[in-house]
A and B are shown apart, each in its own frame.
Chain A
C-alpha cells in the first residue's frame, strides 16, 4: 500500500479553554509503530483518545484509509461504521487490562467475542481460533475456560492483546501497555509485542512515558510537551540526537542501570 493509514490534521483539544493538545499533525504509514512520548499532562493520552474517536477534537481531523481503499475523515463516518471499525480493523490496548477485558467471562470468550461480533457462528472454529491466539500470546491452552480474574497482571495484558488481534486489525492503539507491570513481565510483553507487530505487519500508535518502551517497539517518536508536538523523527535519532531542549532533558533524565 502506498498511502498513509492514518493522517492527523491539526488535531486540537481544549478543556475549559486549557490546551490538552494543539495542532498535531502526522502521518502513520502501514507497518509503522509511532510512539507518542512525554510526561504526564503533556497531552499524549488526549491525543490518543482523539485519534481513536473516544473523544471528539475541537479542531482538526483524523483521516483513515479504510479496507476498501477509501480514505475518510473519521468524524464523517456514521456511528455504525465507526463502531464496526473499532471492533474489526482497530485494536485498543488499555493500560489496565480490566478496562479492555470482560472480567465476567472466560478467557476463550474474551478472545472469541470479536469473532462472534463479526458473525462467526461456529463454536468449534471460535474455540480453536481462541486457542491458537492464547498460544500466540504464551497462555497455556488449558486455561482457556478460566476467568481472567484468575490471571496474573502480565497474563491479563497478553489476553487483552489476543482479544484485540483476533480479527487481524490493521491499526492498534496502545495506552501505556506495560505501565502496570513488573519490570520482568514488561520485557516479556515487549518482546511479544515486537514479534506480533512484525509478523502481522501491524501499524501501532503507542502512548508511553517510558523511553525504553519507545525504543524497543517504535520506529518513530513524537515528543509532546504542554499539548504540542515539539519534536518528531526516527526513534533512534530522537533518542540519540535529540534537538529540542525538552527532548534533551527527557533523554538525559533516563536512569542508567
Chain B
C-alpha cells in the first residue's frame, strides 16, 4: 500500500459528501442525486464516477472485484483494481462469489448476487431522457412530474425502423414504479438481473456528477409496448468454451478469413463452469 494518500485516495470530507448522496439515492430509488464529483487521477470515461463511489464505501475488510465488459483482465479493470490496491490495500478477487464490492463497466455478473454484496456501476450518461430533451431544466421537471412519454418515442422509432425494439444496451427501465433510469451501458440481457436483486446497486457518473441507486429487492421494469414486449438477446450457439446456453456471449473474430466463435463475456463465470465440467 502506498503511503501519503488517505485510505482509498479520497479525503474523508469528500467521502462523507458522497455517502450523503448515496444515502439519498438509496432513499429515492432511481433518482439522480447531484454530487460534487472530484478530479480523479484518471480521465473521464475511465470510470471516475464508479471509482468515487467505490472509494466512499470501501472498508479495509472488503474484497474488491473489478470487471470491464465482464472480464477481470481488461485494461480498465486492471488499472482500477491496481488503484485500490495501492491506495487502500484491500484484498482483490476475480471470483464473483468472494467479492464484497464489485465495480463494473458494461456487465452484471452472471452469478446471482447476495445481500452482503454491493455492485457499483460506472455510468457515462445517466440521463435517459437526454436522447430527446437536451435541456437539463426540462428533464428534471419531466422526472419530477413523471412525464415519461418520450421514452416510448425512442422505442417507437426502433420498431418503426427495425421492426422490433433494437435498443440493445442502456435499455431504459423504471425503478420501484417511479423513476425511469438508465442502467448504464449494460446489455439489455442484464436488465432482468437488476430486478429484485439481493445486492445493493450503486451508479456513479463522474463527468455528469450524478449518483443513483437501486436498493436490494427493488422492482426494476424495462420499458416496452404491449404488442412488443421486452425481450433479451439470444444466441444460436452455446459458449465455445464452457457450453453455456444461458449467459451473455461475446463474438470473437479468430482470423482474417472471418472465422469466429462465441464465448461468455463473464470470464470468471465461464472458468467456473469449465472447472465444474472437468
Is there a direct interface between A and B, measured as CB atoms under 8 Å apart in the complex? yes
- Kindly specify which of A3-11, A98-106, A174-182 makes contact with the partner chain: A98-106
Q: A109-B153, A116-B153 are in contact. Are A123 and B132 (CB under 8 A)?
A: no
Q: What residues of B have a CB within 8 angstroms of the CB of A104 in the complex? A: 132
Q: What residues of A have a CB within 8 angstroms of the CB of B224 in the complex? A: 121
Minimum C-beta distance from B25 to chain A (A): 24
A72 at the interface (CB under 8 A from B): no
Q: Is the interface of B mostly helix, strand, loop or mixed?
A: helix
Q: Is the CB of A121 within 8 A of B152?
A: yes
**Cα-based distance from A113 to B141 in the complex (angstroms):** 18
Minimum C-beta distance from B128 to chain A (A): 15
Minimum C-beta distance from A21 to chain B (A): 27
A18 at the interface (CB under 8 A from B): no
Q: What residues of B have a CB within 8 angstroms of the CB of A123 in the complex? A: 156, 159, 225-228
| Identity of the chain A residue whose Cβ is nearest the Cβ of B152 in the assembled complex | A116
| Identity of the chain B residue whose Cβ is nearest the Cβ of A127 in the assembled complex | B160
Minimum C-beta distance from A140 to chain B (A): 16
Q: Is the CB of B156 within 8 A of A112?
A: yes
Q: What residues of A have a CB within 8 angstroms of the CB of B149 in the complex? A: 87, 113-114, 116-118
Q: Is the CB of A121 within 8 A of B156?
A: no
Give the A interface residue count (CB, 8 A).
Answer: 24
B: interface residue count bin: 10 to 19
Contacting B at CB under 8 A, from A100-148, are 102, 104-106, 108-109, 112-114, 116-118, 121-124, 126-127, 144-145
Minimum C-beta distance from A216 to chain B (A): 34
| Identity of the chain B residue whose Cβ is nearest the Cβ of A108 in the assembled complex | B160
Select the residue from B149, B159, B226 with max chain A CB neighbours within 10 A.
B149
Contact of B227 among A106, A112, A124 (CB under 8 A): A124
**Cα-based distance from A113 to B228 in the complex (angstroms):** 17
A79 at the interface (CB under 8 A from B): yes
Q: A109-B160, A123-B159, A124-B227 are in contact. Are A102 and B153 (CB under 8 A)?
A: yes
**Cα-based distance from A232 to B166 in the complex (angstroms):** 55
B161 at the interface (CB under 8 A from A): yes
Q: Is the CB of B161 within 8 A of A122?
A: no
Q: Is the CB of A105 within 8 A of B157?
A: yes
A83 at the interface (CB under 8 A from B): yes
Q: What residues of A have a CB within 8 angstroms of the CB of B156 in the complex? A: 108-109, 112, 116, 123, 126
Q: Is the CB of A106 within 8 A of B225?
A: no
**Cα-based distance from A144 to B132 in the complex (angstroms):** 19
Contacting A at CB under 8 A, from B128-186, are 132, 141, 145, 147, 149-150, 152-153, 156-157, 159-161
| Identity of the chain B residue whose Cβ is nearest the Cβ of A79 in the assembled complex | B145
Contact of B145 among A80, A109, A126, A145 (CB under 8 A): A80
Interface residue ranges, A against B (CB under 8 Å)? 79-80, 83, 87, 102, 104-106, 108-109, 112-114, 116-118, 121-124, 126-127, 144-145
Q: List 23 A-B contacts (CB under 8 A).
A: A79-B141, A83-B141, A83-B145, A102-B132, A105-B132, A106-B157, A109-B160, A113-B149, A113-B150, A114-B149, A116-B150, A116-B153, A117-B150, A118-B149, A121-B152, A121-B225, A121-B226, A122-B225, A122-B226, A123-B156, A123-B159, A127-B160, A145-B161
Interface residue ranges, B against A (CB under 8 Å)? 132, 141, 145, 147, 149-150, 152-153, 156-157, 159-161, 224-228
